[in-house]
């Protein structure tokens, strides 16, 4: 990976780490499924009208949109609405990194070295520690929902990779077309057909714009900028090379939540966080020689 692309990865880390504060602001005002639908609908409408669809197989576009967009954010927003702490959510969601490597090995036949398997095992141990701590505090369900969000993100990564688009930004934008209608339908069934729109009206009439400002950050900075850069990186390199960057997101997310929201994680959760991040950063990184060999190989060769 080039120095420029490493810097792009670090920009995504900061953008997505702060994204969790914006999500919390939105969820404090809007129902979770409605808020998830709204964040994609704001992008989807102009995309359908003004952006040409990328020349990729529809099945991979749908896999990307359903995994990365629909399921990831439905599970994540439901988890945070059910009591998942903002900073801890930013950590557990990064289970997408080991999930991506495992799915890439199983489904795309990408090469995974023993060191990476060991790193995955250590990361899973850290997740178990966090889950045990939350279960002890009667909050295991939000952790499980966040893990499902991480698994969904991993499937979305594979859809992105299989699409192999030469127009990654266009692919990311069209991914946003997939989630809105299913999410609006889910919101209408579970939250009520008018609950979300009433919340928008209340926010405007009372002048409480924090949720709408959170939506603006998520759409412009988190999705268009952050996801766009991520799409570029995941289209250039094997999933196992790019995915570990996401493990730095919770460093920003936990610190920001601590400073802004006064969320102080338990000692056991912090230990679990260190185990997860440390295990993944060590185990899921490739040696320079192996990474160079894989990055230089054509995509078709990497799948055989």
Per-residue pLDDT of 51-83, as tens digits, reads: 999 999 999 999 999 999 999 999 999 999 998
Total domains in the fold of the chain: 1
State the average pLDDT for the chain.
Answer: 84
Give the range of the structural domain holding residue 186, as residue numbers without chain letter: 3-302
pLDDT of residue 303: 33
pLDDT of residue 34: 97
- The answer to whether residues 37 and 179 touch, using CB atoms and an 8 Å cutoff, is yes
Say whether 178 sits in a helix, a strand or coil. Answer: coil
Among the ranges given (12-26, 53-67, 129-143, 151-165), the one the predictor scored with the smallest mean pLDDT: 129-143
Distances (CA, A) of 224 to 105, 151, 230, 261: 29, 22, 10, 25
Q: Using the predicted structure, report yes or no on whether residue 29 has a pLDDT greater than 70.
A: yes
Q: Using the predicted structure, report yes or no on whether residue 289 has a pLDDT greater than 50.
A: no
- State the pLDDT confidence band at 297, using cuts at 50, 70 and 90: very low
């Amino acid at each position: 990976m080039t120095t420029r692309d490493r810097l792009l990865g670090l920009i995504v880390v900061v953008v997505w780490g702060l994204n969790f504060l914006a999500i919390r602001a939105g969820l404090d005002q809007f129902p979770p499924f409605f808020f998830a639908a709204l964040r994609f609908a704001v992008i989807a409408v102009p995309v359908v009208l003004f952006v040409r669809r990328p020349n990729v197989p529809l099945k991979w576009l749908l896999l990307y949109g359903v995994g990365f967009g629909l399921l990831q954010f439905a599970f994540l927003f439901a988890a945070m609405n059910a009591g998942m702490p903002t900073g801890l959510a930013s950590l557990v969601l990064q289970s997408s990194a080991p999930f991506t490597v495992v799915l890439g090995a199983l489904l795309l036949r990408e090469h995974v070295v023993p060191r990476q398997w060991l790193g995955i095992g250590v990361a899973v141990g850290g997740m178990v520690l966090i889950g045990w701590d939350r279960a002890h505090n009667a909050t295991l369900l939000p952790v499980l929902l966040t893990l499902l969000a991480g698994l969904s993100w991993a499937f979305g990564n594979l859809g992105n990779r299989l699409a192999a688009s030469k127009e990654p930004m266009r692919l990311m934008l069209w991914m946003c077309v997939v989630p809105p209608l299913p999410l609006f339908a889910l919101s209408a069934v579970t939250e009520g057909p008018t609950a979300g729109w009433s919340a928008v009206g209340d926010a405007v009439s009372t002048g409480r714009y924090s949720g709408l400002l959170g939506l603006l950050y998520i759409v412009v900075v988190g999705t268009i900028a952050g996801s766009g850069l991520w799409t570029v990186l995941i289209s250039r390199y094997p999933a196992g090379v790019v995915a570990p960057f996401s493990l730095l997101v919770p460093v920003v997310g936990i610190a920001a939540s601590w400073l802004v929201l006064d969320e102080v994680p338990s000692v056991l959760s912090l230990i679990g966080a260190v185990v997860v991040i440390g295990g993944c950063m060590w185990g899921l990184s490739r040696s320079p020689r192996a990474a160079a060999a894989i990055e230089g190989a054509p995509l078709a060769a990497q799948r055989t």
